[in-house]
Amino acid sequence: MEEDRPAPPAEPLAGGDLSRLSVAEIETRIGQLKAEIVRLEETLARKKASLDAANAAFKF
């Protein structure tokens, strides 16, 4: 039954106390944040394209 439980939420990547992180942990976190920025930018571009297409279709 333990495997049915959702994993506990991960520590947020932004806004937390960084003073106890090692250099390697900071570098890892920077990599994760950069990857998340890329993912967000890709999603934003898709949503903008979708919005532009909808606006063009309903422009009278």
Q: What is the pLDDT of residues 4-41, one digit of tens each?
A: 777 665 667 788 899 999 999 999 999 999 999 999 99
8-state DSSP, 17: -
Q: What is the pLDDT of residues 31-57, one digit of tens each?
A: 999 999 999 999 999 999 999 999 999
Contact 32, 16 (CB under 8 A): no
- The residue whose two tokens read 């495997």 is 3
The residue with greater pLDDT, 59 or 22, is 22
Report the alpha-carbon distance of residue 32 to residue 40 in Å, rounded.
12
Domain chopping of the chain, boundaries: 23-60
